[in-house]
Chains A and B, each alone.
Chain A
Amino acid sequence: MTKTITLAQGNGGEENNDLIKKVFYKAFKNEILERSEDAAVIGNLAMTTDSFTVSPLFFAGADIGKLAVCGTCNDLAMMGAKPKYLTCSVIIEEGFEVESLERIVESMRAELAINGAVVVSGDTKVVPKGSVDKIFINTTGLGEIVQAGISSNNVSEEDVILINRDIGCHGATIFAAREGIEMSSTLRSDCNSLYPQVKALLDAGVEITAMRDATRGGVAAVLNEWARQSDVCIEVDEEKLPISDEVKGICEMLGFEATALANEGTFVLAIKKGSAAKALEILKSFEVCAMASVVGEVTQKYPKKVILKSPWGTSRFLETPNGELLPRIC
């Protein structure tokens, strides 16, 4: 590990995992933490926390406020929990416009309503100009577990792998906005609350083994975490991966892989084979999930590895992303 912290250590991929394990897990070691789930399960409650630092603050499809509620509520939803109570802690840079703050908070209010959750505690700090980049938001969430036993440690050969919608929209949108690439007017972040989709699946009795929202590190990071945590091999058909033309375009131009791009309303599901058709039908009833797809199966071919199979019969490993997201040179 490096002596000073680099941006690559916040990428949700290999270096990020390394930092968490060698610094935080080492110090905070306990059984709940070591399960490495999206949210900690304590009795019939799920608890999670997340900090949000995004530039620009307002982007196509969402803003930092919507992101701060979706991110935390989605982590609860991924454990089969209904989001109920949130805290909201903000660190604001001196000189920040109150009007922008009001827009952000209004976004949070609207998104809380979709989840049926409330903010019950908070904190506000203002720091001198230059100490933070405009505004950082931390949200901690508490949810009530509706369906127990959902765990990324339990994926088995009885499961198939699904993705609820097209991948990489958030990462591509933020990258394009930050770097001023005017690629397409239709490219929007997927930022969205996932509990309504999860609730519909649970209400229909779909047998869910694991769920995880594919945030930093993207779908590639989730699949690799599952393969490692559950000691299985996940085989994915590349042509079944749902990717929009806009995201494909950004990836082609800059040399990125859509599977490594961040998402904020996209999740991966491991579902018992018999429930897959029903799950797909339910997901597709949501407008944003038109591209929901069964993307692969679970085997023991190469335990702890993810295999990507091309439409022309070749295959390769899909690795956990590493390094800072940088465009290729030529």
Chain B
Amino acid sequence: MSSLQLKDLYDGFRDPDVIKGYQKVIATDAQKLSRTINIMEVCGGHTHTIMKYGILQLLPENIKFVHGPGCPVCIMPKERIDHAYVLSQQPNVILVTLGDMIKVPGSNGSLQDARSKGSDVRFVYSPLDCLKIAKENPDKTVIFFAIGFETTTPMTAALLDTVIKEDIPNILLHLNHVTVPEPMRALISDEACIIDAFLGPSHVSVISGSKIYEEFPRDWGKPVVVSGFEPVDVMQSISMIVKQFIENRCELEVEYHRAVSREGNLKAQAMVDKYFQKVDFRWRGLGDIPQSGLGLRAEYDKYNAEKIYDAVLPKEEIDDHKLCICGDILKGKASPPQCSIFGTACKPTSPVGSCMVSSEGACSAYYKYGNLI
């Protein structure tokens, strides 16, 4: 038997016939809808899929998408990026973070700019790569600027776990982890919110289980379908949502059965709970959302870069440019091309607002892939 190849994981999920098949099913079912339904894809990964594969072009007029806040880079307020920038400039510091974060401008510039001015800024694929950097640079302090939703949080916890167990003296964390249900709750609490249903990110539920979405159909009357990221996954999930509406159901369903359970990865959840606790977090474009972030528990203060470098870190909150309408885009009140600075003053090479800052943001996806229809 031949071994499993990477392409086996996506090939079938981009099958043109299957995608066209779902297009027909959705078109037929959507005729039975009594009104337009607005689906929010919570995660930037889904925004990317929808734009890259032209999913919008396959949908009937009465199915719309509202692009959600779920991109760890997009939601980072400028003052937190300024923290990273300042930390990278401290003597004998190596500032480490994940890919795209390096490009996002704070008020003094991006980490890319800091690097061009002499700071030692590096990106890694996994937080655990910090261990190698710390061992190779015993005279330096390695600060991991941790970002991401439930998907990346366990790896940061695993890094801290190793640091403590192996008594590694030169790794600190600056935590910016956030969680998905709180912003969803914040968005639908807004009276002007037009969201009718959610597409839940599957990779979050691989860790946290599908259970984190149970409150939305039960308490808020909003169906949720936990969906994979391939075009077939997204088309199937849209079809599942449409069927719920025409059958007058309001449920949590899982399309991504291949890896999502109700409970999720309990070991990962325990690791996260051991080291981190819920804290308030200010979201770029959305503002303060109570208990939507994760901070280090007080007993681990000696690993907390935010505490150790408190004296040099800026404290002032910085809002996006007043012409930026990212907040409205995230709430579904506006779409990217409606913004007066979209594609002019605000571009991926010089982003002004949150939705343009990483490739997974709604504005960035619209800019990059355009929209031919």
| Contact in complex: B54, A315 (CB < 8 Å) | yes
| Contact in complex: A316, B360 (CB < 8 Å) | no
* Given A253-B6, A328-B360: A2 and B113 interface contact (C-beta under 8 Å): yes
Enumerate B330-371 residues with CB–CB distance to A below 8 Å: 348-349, 358-360, 368-371
| Contact in complex: B113, A6 (CB < 8 Å) | yes
Say yes or no: is B183 at the interface (Cβ < 8 Å to chain A): no
Say yes or no: is B272 at the interface (Cβ < 8 Å to chain A): no
Residues of A within 8 A of B (CB): 2, 4-8, 14-15, 179, 245, 248-249, 252-253, 255, 307, 310-317, 319, 322-324, 326-330
Per DSSP, chain A at the interface is: loop
Say yes or no: is B117 at the interface (Cβ < 8 Å to chain A): yes
Compute how far the CA of A199 lies from the CA of B125 in the bound complex, rounded to whole angstroms.
44
Extra pairs beyond A7-B112, A312-B54, A329-B148 (4, CB < 8 Å)? A245-B7, A312-B20, A315-B372, A322-B349
The minimal Cβ–Cβ distance linking B118 to chain A, given in whole angstroms, is: 10
| Contact in complex: B73, A245 (CB < 8 Å) | no
Q: Which residues of chain B are within 8 angstroms of A329 by Cβ–Cβ distance?
A: 72-73, 98-101, 147-148, 152, 358, 360
| Contact in complex: A249, B6 (CB < 8 Å) | yes
| Contact in complex: A323, B103 (CB < 8 Å) | yes
Instruction: Write the B69-107 contact mask toward A (1 if CB under 8 angstroms, else 0).
Output: 000110000000000000000000000001111110000
Instruction: Write the B136-175 contact mask toward A (1 if CB under 8 angstroms, else 0).
Output: 0000000000011101100000000000000000000000
| Contact in complex: A319, B368 (CB < 8 Å) | yes
Say yes or no: is B293 at the interface (Cβ < 8 Å to chain A): no
| Contact in complex: B16, A312 (CB < 8 Å) | yes
The minimal Cβ–Cβ distance linking B55 to chain A, given in whole angstroms, is: 8
| Contact in complex: B7, A307 (CB < 8 Å) | no
Q: Which residues of chain B are within 8 angstroms of A313 by Cβ–Cβ distance?
A: 20, 57-58
The minimal Cβ–Cβ distance linking B215 to chain A, given in whole angstroms, is: 24
* Given A4-B117, A8-B112: A314 and B370 interface contact (C-beta under 8 Å): no
The minimal Cβ–Cβ distance linking B322 to chain A, given in whole angstroms, is: 24
The minimal Cβ–Cβ distance linking B80 to chain A, given in whole angstroms, is: 15
Out of B10, B112, B359, B368, which one reaches A328, CB within 8 Å?
B359
30 contacts between A and B (CB under 8 A): A2-B116, A4-B116, A4-B117, A6-B113, A6-B115, A7-B116, A8-B103, A8-B112, A15-B349, A248-B7, A307-B372, A312-B23, A312-B231, A313-B58, A315-B57, A316-B51, A316-B369, A319-B370, A322-B349, A324-B103, A326-B100, A326-B102, A326-B103, A328-B359, A329-B100, A329-B147, A329-B358, A329-B360, A330-B148, A330-B149
CB-nearest residue of chain A to B117: A4
| Contact in complex: B100, A328 (CB < 8 Å) | yes
The minimal Cβ–Cβ distance linking B325 to chain A, given in whole angstroms, is: 23
Q: Which residues of chain A are within 8 angstroms of B203 by Cβ–Cβ distance?
A: 330
Compute how far the CA of A312 lies from the CA of B24 in the bound complex, rounded to whole angstroms.
12
Compute how far the CA of A311 lies from the CA of B10 in the bound complex, rounded to whole angstroms.
15
| Contact in complex: A312, B58 (CB < 8 Å) | yes
Compute how far the CA of A311 lies from the CA of B348 in the bound complex, rounded to whole angstroms.
28
Compute how far the CA of A252 lies from the CA of B370 in the bound complex, rounded to whole angstroms.
21
Instruction: Write the B44-67 contact mask toward A (1 if CB under 8 angstroms, else 0).
Output: 010000011111011000000000
Compute how far the CA of A47 lies from the CA of B20 in the bound complex, rounded to whole angstroms.
50
Out of B58, B98, B116, which one reaches A5, CB within 8 Å?
B116
Instruction: Write the B1-37 contact mask toward A (1 if CB under 8 angstroms, else 0).
Output: 0000111011000001001100100000000000000
Q: Which residues of chain A are within 8 angstroms of B152 by Cβ–Cβ distance?
A: 329-330
| Contact in complex: B99, A252 (CB < 8 Å) | no
Q: Which residues of chain B are within 8 angstroms of A249 by Cβ–Cβ distance?
A: 5-7
Compute how far the CA of A2 lies from the CA of B350 in the bound complex, rounded to whole angstroms.
10
Q: Which residues of chain A are within 8 angstroms of B99 by Cβ–Cβ distance?
A: 326-329
Instruction: Write the B282-320 contact mask toward A (1 if CB under 8 angstroms, else 0).
Output: 000000000000000000000000000000000000000
Compute how far the CA of A8 lies from the CA of B102 in the bound complex, rounded to whole angstroms.
11
| Contact in complex: A252, B6 (CB < 8 Å) | yes
